[in-house]
Amino acid sequence: MSEDGRTYGVGHGRAIRPLVRMTARQPDEAHRASTPLELLFDLCFVVAVARAGGRLVHAVAEGDPGHGLAGYLFVFFALWWAWVNFTWFASAYDCDDVPYRLATLVQMAGVLVMAAGIPAAFDDANYTVAVIGYLIMRVALTAQWLRAAHGESGPARSTALRYAAGLVVVQAGWIVMILLPDDAWLWGFFPLLVGELAVPAFAERRHPTSWHPHHIAERYGLFTIIMLGETIAAATVAVQSALDDDEALGELLPIAAGGLVIVFAVYWIYFAVPIHEYLVSSRQAFLWGYAHYVILGSAAAIGAGLEIAVEQATHHAHLSARAAALAVTLPTALFMVSVWAVHARHFKRDRVENLVLPVGAVTVMITTLAGHWATPLAGIACAATVAVGITLAARSLPQGGSTGRSAAS
């Protein structure tokens, strides 16, 4: 246990205390890292995101991409936003005592309930179970903020109370939505979405929480890896399908190989910069964190796209080869552009370096025209983007010195 009475989980070799006063952690705390409990919490999202991706694949394969994409965007927003709220609260107030762990358990249960409601949300536009799961998570989070308010005083207490109040108001809105007719979702969803995104701005307008830049950067990085894991799983499906269908072997193995190269390239692109050095204010951090809806959503969608490409190659999808290729190239290009816009460009030294990712994204989109060969060609384009980035970064390094960043795309 540390001198301030905090505990850090069994993975850190420290005993847990039954109950401690929940007060803000220091934003410059040394050796701050993700806890085993946070990693366990993240694993629940593997199931939920896989379900959302699977329903997206089914909808697109059946020739209804509009419906599938709309459902995916809604469900992924709920999953992502629940994870975001947990992560930022934990960065500021993780005391790792028994009540904190039990509240996290409740939130994990909410994730699993939401995952169970994803098929109904996609197939029948019935969001009742998904919203109930979301509300379970949010009730536990509200209780955490009230506990933080009890342990704080002054401006920090006011911030915690505003968070709790904002969450209660928005949660009431979701309850009303599931009680109203289905048509209410057409006009009620977006105002509630705006309300959700506005709660942090409302709560922290006078006194920001003491989130930890290095911890936040690590947490987002780990969640990005989880999203990319969906792509690894899709590549595995492609290999298995190739082994089961000799006639499609020549199409499926390139899809698997291209998918693996894509996931490794986008990993390299994302982790090429020390982003914690950029997160020096709440305004920067919030904009960066909000933009990760696109980054994380597109990362997970790459895996769904690969599965769609496999379905098309094995003649189980009602769409053309170019349409299936677009399911891979579009999220890949979107990932590259969004990472450049909010993540990587802050560390580029000149215009040429800043153009690498946008040009790479355009190149990936062009490979869509190759149809069946689009995925392996997109993988080559991604690898080339990384190689060019490494070359330019190495040339810009001062002789005999280092800038403190990795050679990046």
180 and 271: one domain? no
Number of separate domains in the chain = 2
How many whole angstroms from its chain centre is CA 44? 13
Q: What are the pLDDT tens digits along the chain (409 aa)?
A: 444 445 444 444 456 778 889 999 998 888 898 999 999 999 988 888 888 888 888 888 888 888 888 888 888 898 999 999 999 999 999 999 999 999 999 999 999 999 999 888 887 878 899 999 999 999 999 999 999 999 999 999 999 999 999 999 999 999 999 888 878 887 888 899 999 999 998 999 889 999 999 999 999 999 999 888 877 887 777 677 666 766 667 778 888 899 999 999 999 999 988 888 888 777 778 888 899 999 999 999 998 899 899 888 888 778 899 999 999 999 999 999 999 998 877 777 777 888 999 999 999 999 999 998 999 999 999 999 999 988 887 776 555 444 444 444 4
Task: Confirm if 53 and 303 have CB atoms less than 8 A apart.
Answer: yes
Are the CB atoms for 65 and 305 separated by under 8 Å?
no
* 1 domain residue, yes or no: no
Characterize 243-254 residue by residue with b for buried, 16 or more Cβ atoms within 10 angstroms of its Cβ, and e for exposed. Answer: eeeeebeebbbb
- To which residue do tokens 């993700």 refer? 34
Query: Within 10 A of 184 (CB to CB), how many other CB atoms are there?
Result: 13
* 10 falls within a domain: no
Assign residue 370 the CATH number of its domain.
1.20.1410
Cα within 13 Å of Cα(399), Cβ side = 0
Residues 319 and 191 in one domain: no
CB 235 within 8 A of CB 261: no
Single residue among 203, 235, 250 that ends a domain in this structure: 203
Of 160, 185, 203, the residue that ends a domain is: 203
Compute, in degrees rounded to 10, the torsion defined by CA atoms 134, 140, 143, 145.
Answer: -70
Query: Residues 6 or more apart from 325 whose CB is under 8 A from it?
Result: 309, 367, 368, 370, 371, 372, 374, 375
98 in a domain, yes or no?
A: yes
Domain that residue 234 falls in: 213-396
**Are both 188 and 262 inside the same structural domain?**
no
Model pTM greater than 0.85? yes
Is the CB of residue 53 less than 8 Å from the CB of residue 299? no
Asked if residue 228 belongs to a domain, the reply is yes
Same domain, 279 and 348: yes
Same domain, 188 and 321: no
Q: How far apart are CA 214 and CA 91, in angstroms?
A: 10
